[in-house]
């Protein structure tokens, strides 16, 4: 069982700041596979933890919620605090009126071998992606643009997008590294 430490929270906030140092744009340009990225962004900007969590496979969110509760943490509180910290940092760096947009640059189908690759998770050591339930999967390259009323920036990010039970999700590896791509 892992404990949530100040270090973990700081790492999470740093990844939010990386997003906020990313760029601007006027409209998201993607396809049906990018719907979970819309949920991540809109959840962050509206500080809606439910919307944000819906970008990830439900079994992962359930496992993460259970793991956090073992150490007395609430997933929604953790995410809300991270949103606030990240958005506050964005205001300092870019000004008010946060906007985050993306453009899908390219995507490549993921192989079975890639889907089975282990990944490091901050909180769950025994979670495995339900590879047998994935009907499609892509590694997608995006240009992420973050802009405030004073400045903005753009960066390239890569996300793994998974289709499970007919719904697109972002790979859990991006949960606490939401915009580091």
Asked if residue 1 belongs to a domain, the reply is no
pLDDT tens string 10-36? 444 444 443 433 333 347 888 899 999
Output the 3-class SS for 23-69: CCCCCCECCHHHHHHHHHHHHHHHCCHHHHHCCCCHHHHHHHHHHHH
Q: Which of 6-10, 30-34, 120-124 has the lowest mean pLDDT?
A: 6-10
The pLDDT assigned to 176 comes to 65
Average pLDDT value for residue range 156-175: 94
Q: How confident is the model at residue 178 (pLDDT cuts 50, 70, 90)?
A: low
Asked if residue 94 belongs to a domain, the reply is yes
- Number of structural domains, the chain? 1
Asked if residue 179 belongs to a domain, the reply is no
CATH code of 127's domain = 3.10.450.50
- How far from the centroid of its chain's Cα atoms is residue 134's Cα? 19
Average pLDDT value for residue range 87-110: 86
Q: Are 61 and 124 in contact (CB under 8 A)?
A: no
Asked if residue 72 belongs to a domain, the reply is yes
pLDDT tens string 65-95? 999 999 999 999 989 888 887 777 767 878 8
Asked if residue 177 belongs to a domain, the reply is no
Q: Which domain holds residue 139?
A: 6-172
The pLDDT assigned to 149 comes to 85
pLDDT value at 146 more than 80:
yes
Asked if residue 55 belongs to a domain, the reply is yes
Of 111, 108, 89, nearest in space to 98 by CA = 89
Predicted structure pTM score:
0.79
pLDDT value at 54 more than 90:
yes
Asked if residue 167 belongs to a domain, the reply is yes
């Amino acid at each position: 069982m892992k404990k949530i430490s100040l270090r973990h929270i700081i790492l999470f906030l740093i990844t939010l700041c990386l997003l906020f140092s990313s760029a601007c744009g006027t409209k998201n340009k993607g396809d049906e596979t990018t719907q979970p990225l819309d949920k991540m962004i809109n959840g962050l900007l509206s500080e809606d933890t439910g919307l944000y969590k819906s970008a990830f496979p439900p079994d992962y969110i359930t496992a993460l919620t259970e793991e956090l509760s073992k150490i007395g943490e609430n997933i929604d509180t953790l995410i809300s605090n991270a949103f606030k910290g990240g958005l506050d940092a964005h205001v300092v760096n870019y000004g008010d009126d946060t906007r985050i947009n993306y453009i899908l640059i390219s995507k490549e189908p993921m192989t079975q071998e890639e889907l089975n690759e282990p990944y490091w998770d901050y909180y769950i050591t025994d979670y495995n992606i339900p590879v047998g339930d994935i009907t499609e999967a892509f590694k997608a390259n995006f240009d992420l643009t973050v802009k405030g009323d004073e400045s903005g920036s753009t960066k390239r990010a890569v996300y793994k997008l998974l289709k499970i039970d007919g719904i697109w999700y972002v790979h859990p590896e991006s949960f606490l590294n939401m915009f580091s791509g």
